[in-house]
Each structure stands twice: as structure tokens, then as C-alpha cells.
Structure 1
Amino acid sequence: MTDPTQDPGFLQNPYPVYAAMRSVCPVQPVSSASGGPAGYVITGYAQAREALADDRLSKDTAAFFAGKESRRRLHPAVAHTMLAADPPRHTRLRRLVTKAFTTRAVARLRPFIERVTDELLDQWPVGERTDFVAGLAVPLPVIVICELLGVPESDRPDVRRWSGELFAAGRPDVIDAASHSLADCMTGLIAAKRLNAGDSLLDRLIMARDGDDRLSEAELVSLAVLLLVAGHETTTNFLGNAALALLRHPAELDRLRRDPGDVPRVLDELLRFDSPVGTATFRYTTQALTLGGTDIPAGAPVLVALGAANRDPERFPSPDLLDLDRDAAGHLAFGHGIHRCVGAPLAMAEAEIALRAVLTRFPGIRLAAPPDRLQWRRARLLRALTSLPVMT
């Protein structure tokens, strides 16, 4: 079949498209808009979970594209991140990152997240229309990850813009330029921190070591860019999608409004219902294999549709229903296996604090636009609103 993302209604609501694909086969080949092979798409939960943990599916994009002609000029710091590596390189990099990116660091950030959330909500008008995305979902994660990494306030607007441009679907020139801008920014910041060390995550990455093993300069820049981008893009989408889900389900919203302290318990269901990452990052088969009854040749790109897997009725009955009593543990919104999102605890903390604060301070919040008029970002990997108008 053709690439499902070319469906006109896909951005607005991809789930009927995913359900139709899954009903035919949970793993199937797709062709691009030009008619050429685009790879294989996985829409079933069991098959997606299997694929995410299968070492026959490689994430080494450098090896996949080696020798292939390309006009792209993506900066190596973006093209060859930890996400685009296999063991043992991935194992080594993740181990060094984990030494600096701990749950203790997230716990220390909670008062800061709470303060920033309150400062942002202080700017919301009472009883008027405002934009949830621009007023909270975008700035909160950007401020938090920049604070965690030690990015100066003067650089943060540019960092946010460049990060967004990395996901500009169909605009390779914009993506490539943004990759160089971000890498140059992080290179300069690392050099400055070597001269005047602090206690940020980036400072700890500079010092991180495992025995005699330390991060090289290129690895440092790459990890800094990855953490910067992944550290806020996913959370921004998570916040927007979760808020929209609740606003479209008044009964569930009312439950949380009466008991905002219940927010932490329902975050997994909100993640499952509308995953902030629609499709996992690039993988390809290193050998021929069979997945979900489908034979996949060696060297074939494989796209794991996380959003589709989270709506698989074989795993989550009545998947199109937002059910805050559902046990949604095991959802794939943060991935699975060795590449599961290392920043998941930070994203969960930000979402918990932000949603609880909104429900407490603006209990009458409601949608200020028809759901079918909302605009979604044209980005293949992400499931992200461009704006979310609400009445406070």
C-alpha cells in the first residue's frame, strides 16, 4: 500500500488509518508517494514490542546510508546520535549518559519545574482565550531542559526555533541548516563550560567517565544536541496531546478537576491514548526475518508506529476510549528495550506538575475551538499540535 502519512486526514486523526492497516496485517510493506519502496510499517502492539527489542533491527544509520549518494548535509552531531547507534557503542554512550542523567537530578528539578509552571500560568488571562501550547506546553519543557543542561537564557529562543526546524517534514534544507546551528551552539557551550565549570547536566557529561573511558568531543556535542531536542520536543507534545484528550472527554476531566492529585496515576493512559511520538526513529533489518507473519528482506527500513501499537485492541480493549481507570502500563509511547527514552522520568515529572497546576488554577478550562479545526505539525515522527486554544 502507499505511505499512510499521505492520507489527507492522517495528521488530524491517524488512528483510523492505522486501524485499517492493522486489520489487513500488523506488519506490511508501504510505498512512497513516488511509488518507490518506503519500507515496512508495524501497527500491531505485539509486533512493535518485538521489533523494538530485536537486535536484528539496526539503528546504525551511518552503516545503512554508507555509499548511498545523498545531497543532504545533516551535521554528524544530529545524524549520528546515540539513537542512531547499536551495541556496543550505544551501550557505552547510554551508560555514560545515565551516570549524569539520574532520577535524583530530576527530583532536584521538581521545585524549579513547579516555579516555572506557576510563573507561566501567572501570565494566563482569567476567563479569556489563550493558547495552551504557546503558553505552557512549549516554554515549560524548553526552560527546564535548558536549565538542566546549563544553556544560557539568551540562547534559548534560538535553541527552541532550531529544534522545531529539525522536524520540518519535506524541507531538508531547513532541517540540515538547523542541525548545524544546534551543533555549533552546543560546541560553543561545551567550550565555555570547560573554562568555567558549573553543576549542570552538561558539566557532568563533560566529566562523566567509566573507568578510563570518557566521551569524545564529537560524542559530547552529539549527546548535548540529542538531550536538548529530545528533552523538550516529546514533553511539549505530551502536554498538548494530554490536555486535548482531557478537554475532549469532559467526564474524565471532571474527575481530575475534583482530585488533581490523581494526575500521576493517569499519565500512562494519556500517553497511550495519543502518543507524543507517532513513529519510532529509523531502523532497518540486518538480515531477512519474519515479523507478524510478514517476510522482510535484509536491508529494509522498518517503521514502528508507536501510536498505532498503543491503540491495538489485542493489547488495550476499546483502545479509542480514554479510560482513566485503565492499567496502561506497558504502553510504547517512550519506546521499549535498550532504546527506551532515557528522559522519561523528566517528562513524567513535568507533565504531572503542569497538568495538576492547570486543573487547580483553572478548573473551568475548556476548548475554545472545534477539535476538527485544530492544526497539527507536519512532522513524520511526532504527533504534535501547533496550537490548542482554550478558555480559562
Structure 2
Amino acid sequence: MSILDQDFSTGNFRALLGEAAQAAPVHIDHERRRVLILEHDLIRRMLLDRRLVNGRDRTSFDELPAGTRDLHNTLDRFLSLWPVFSDGPYHQRMRAHLNSALSAHRLKELISALGPYCEQALPRLGERGTAVDWLGEFVRPYIEHTLSLLFAVDRDRLGRLMSAGSAIIEYITGARFDDELGRRARLALDVLIEEAGHLTAGPATGFCRALAAIAEDPELGPEPAAAAVAQIITGTLDPTMTVLTEAVVLPFEAGLAGSPGPSAAPPDTVRRETDEVLRHACPFRFSSVRHVTADVDLGAHRLVAGQKVLLGFAAANLDARTFHGGLTFRPGADSNRHLTFGMGPHRCPGAGLATAMLDQLFGAMATTGVTVIPVDGSLVRSRDAIFSRVTALKVRVLRETGEK
């Protein structure tokens, strides 16, 4: 059985991934006609190798009825415009616009507003005195606050964008050629194109100005600008919800939960905990499909031109050859070697923002003296092997360390 057929909703999936990286650094999934690369150092090498290129795993829609064929073709074409599913000059041009706009320097003002938000929101949850819905009452509002600053939009317009993003996620992760999901995603596409037009017409933030530059670029245009909006929205929804949920689960399970005291923790301490969460909580366990354009030698294995490859980021992050005691949650100097955001020309453009959101959460917990305790049995993860998705968690928010 391929690792992609395993149930990832249970608590032992990290051991499964770590063991797989040790046992078979390169694994052939014959049923899916994919090569899975699981070893940390091999993946780092492949991320920098130009002989592997990104691209949508295009399939023929010829067997579908005409109306349905047009529906799925339209959505497939739109997805192919996303930076994560593209390569070559188009990808490089998109990245040139996005990388600068999402740099730590350009987002400095936005990031500075995240800590105060957490410092106000966490104690309010603590005042409840009862178990709270972590995703619904903290994580999603925190994400909404972040996106509202990034796009400078009001609650109603942000709600439209997030609903559209959710419909696209459901289509991508749902059953293949699901017509109902496809129709919802098609409506969402119209919303995204309309909202991208508003965002670029009078850009109010640095990121919106980057979108406007994409829309005005004669080699790109309005639809790629909408694709960039879609990728940022979807990449900030479920993946960030997963990471911000594992951020309170992992330290608690490791016996490290608790506030370091009334004053803020040192930045290097916060960043090490952030990096260790990202190492263990990798939302995209496997990359999008990479296409081999020329033969590549991987020691005992050779990738052949025409093969399709999946890079196992989550397994690489648990590889004991790179991380001593890889399955143990233990913030340390090597935590920042994680591959959660990839590296090289396809490194996630939103990596800095996602990292900052986690940094600011941990910093606020330290400053306010808040401890977040997961409620036993309330964590729910999806079964999916490719995408790590957390759908539920209840917590108790304690305002003072040692509070019963």
C-alpha cells in the first residue's frame, strides 16, 4: 500500500512519515504513476534542480459531456495560472511582482498590528471560563484580521473573498470531476475576478499595488491577478488554520505548554518554537506535481524524463538523518531547516506572513501570560495524505500559568 493511501486522521501519522523517509527515500507509487521523494537532503536538491518543473497535472476532459467539460476546463485553466501550479517565464514574472510585496520589510506595519490583536483576543477567551472553539473563535478571526489588513477591505468584501476561496479549496480537494463542487467553484471564480478588479482599481496597500502591477503587465493581465488573490486566500485559510491549531496542540503534547512569564519571550526563543511547529505541522505534506524534463540521477535511483514527482515535505521534516530525534517536538537550532515552505524559485511567497502570524501568537501568549490547553478528544484531522487539514479543536484558555 502506498503512503498516500494511509489514514492521516490518527495520531501516529508522523511516525508513519518518519519511518517512510528512512525506509524508502525514493518510493514508486505504481498505481498513481508517481515517484515520491521523501528524504530531506534529496528534496532540497530537487527543489533547486531546474530539470523538475511545476505544472498542473493536466487530464483530458474529452469523456465528459460538453457542458461539464467546459466547466472543468475553465477551472483547470484558472488553476494553471496560480504561481504554485506554474513554472518558466510566467512563474518568474508573477513571483517578481509578489515577492517584494510580501517581504518582511513591506509587511512590517501589518505584522506590527498582529501582536496587539492576539494580546487582546486571547485574554478575552480566557475570561469565558469555559472551553472555546479554537478555530471558530480565535484562529479564523485572526486570519480574517490579517487578510483585512493585507487587502484593506471591509468585513463584507473579505467575507466574499474567503467564501470564494473556500469553494475553490473544496473543488481542489474534493472528488475528481465533481460537478456540484465545480459549479460552486465557477461562481467563486467570478467573485474572485470581480474582487480582484476592485482591489487593483484603487490599490490601498502594497500587496494590492503588486496585484495592480500584475493586472497591468502586458504579459500577465487581470486573470493572473485574480489567480494571485485566489492563491493567497486559499493559502491563508486551511493551511494557516492547521498550523495555528497544531501550535497549541504540539507543545502541550510534548509537555512544553505554558507561558514563559509576564514579559515577552526572547525573539530567538519564539522563532525556534515557531520553526518547530512549522516542521511538524507541514500543511502540504506533498508538493504539487513536478514534471521531470531530463534524466536525474538520485544515487540508487534515476528519475527519467516524463516521470511525475511528488516531494514529501512532511516526511523530510521528520527525517532523522537531518533532525536528531525527528519525531520529538523539541525547538532547537536545526528547527529552521524545515521544508514546509519549500525553497528556491518555488518557495511559498507567503512564508514570511505565515511565520509572522505564528511568531506574534507565541509572543502574545508570553506577554499576556496565557496558556492554551486542548480539550481531550476534541481535535479532528482529515484523512487526506496530501493536505493536512484540521477541522475542529476545543481549548481552555487560562490567563495565568498554573491556573486550575
Instruction: Name the TM tier (shorter chain).
Output: 0.7 to 0.9
State the distance in 1 between where 2:197 and 2:22 align: 53
Cα shift readout 1:66-90 (whole Å, capped 9, x = no counterpart):
7674754425332321112222221
State the distance in 1 between where 2:322 and 2:221 align: 42
Cα shift readout 1:155-190 (whole Å, capped 9, x = no counterpart):
333433443344443434365345433422221123
1:39 aligned residue: 34
Cα shift readout 1:189-218 (whole Å, capped 9, x = no counterpart):
2333455443352244203699x7664122
Shift of 1:310: 0.5
Shift of 1:225: 1.2
> What does 1:133-282 align with in structure 2 at a 5 Å threshold?
133-168=135-170, 169-172=173-176, 173=178, 176-193=182-199, 195-199=201-205, 201-207=207-213, 215-250=220-255, 252-254=256-258, 256=260, 260-261=264-265, 262-282=269-289
**1:363–1:65 CA distance, 2 compared to 1 (3 A):** closer
Q: Does 1:369 align with 2:376?
A: yes
Shift of 1:108: 1.0
State the distance in 2 between where 1:150 and 1:70 align: 44
State the distance in 2 between where 1:258 and 1:44 align: 41
Q: Does 1:132 align with 2:134?
A: yes
115-124 vs 334-343, greater mean Cα deviation: 115-124
* Aligned with residue 330 of structure 1, among 333, 337, 340: 337
Kept after mapping to 1: 8 A contact 2:200/2:208: no
Kept after mapping to 1: 8 A contact 2:101/2:107: no
TM-score by length of 1: 0.86
**1:338–1:186 CA distance, 2 compared to 1 (3 A):** same
State the distance in 2 between where 1:221 and 1:119 align: 33
Is the partner of 1:5 in helix, strand or coil?
helix
315-324 vs 163-172, greater mean Cα deviation: 163-172
State the distance in 2 between where 1:299 and 1:175 align: 31
TM-score by length of 2: 0.83
1:95 aligned residue: 96
State the distance in 1 between where 2:100 and 2:23 align: 44
Residue-pair matches, total: 381
**1:280–1:375 CA distance, 2 compared to 1 (3 A):** same
Shift of 1:322: 1.2
Shift of 1:112: 2.9
Cα shift readout 1:224-281 (whole Å, capped 9, x = no counterpart):
211222234432222111211111122x224745765232332112211232321122
Kept after mapping to 1: 8 A contact 2:48/2:344: yes
Kept after mapping to 2: 8 A contact 1:257/1:363: no
**1:66–1:390 CA distance, 2 compared to 1 (3 A):** closer
State the distance in 1 between where 2:241 and 2:63 align: 32
State the distance in 1 between where 2:334 and 2:51 align: 31
2:68 aligned residue: none
2:392 aligned residue: 387
Supply the RMSD in Å over aligned alpha carbons: 2.9
Question: Which amino acid counterpart does residue 253 of structure 2 have in structure 1?
Answer: R
Structure 2, unaligned runs of 5 or more: 65-71, 398-404
Structure 1, unaligned runs of 5 or more: none
State the distance in 2 between where 1:293 and 1:188 align: 51
Kept after mapping to 2: 8 A contact 1:137/1:237: no
State the distance in 2 between where 1:128 and 1:316 align: 38
Q: Does 1:65 align with 2:58?
A: yes
1:23 aligned residue: 22
Kept after mapping to 2: 8 A contact 1:269/1:326: no
* Aligned with residue 49 of structure 2, among 30, 38, 54: 54
Kept after mapping to 1: 8 A contact 2:48/2:345: yes
Kept after mapping to 1: 8 A contact 2:214/2:222: no
Kept after mapping to 2: 8 A contact 1:205/1:220: yes
State the distance in 2 between where 1:303 and 1:26 align: 12
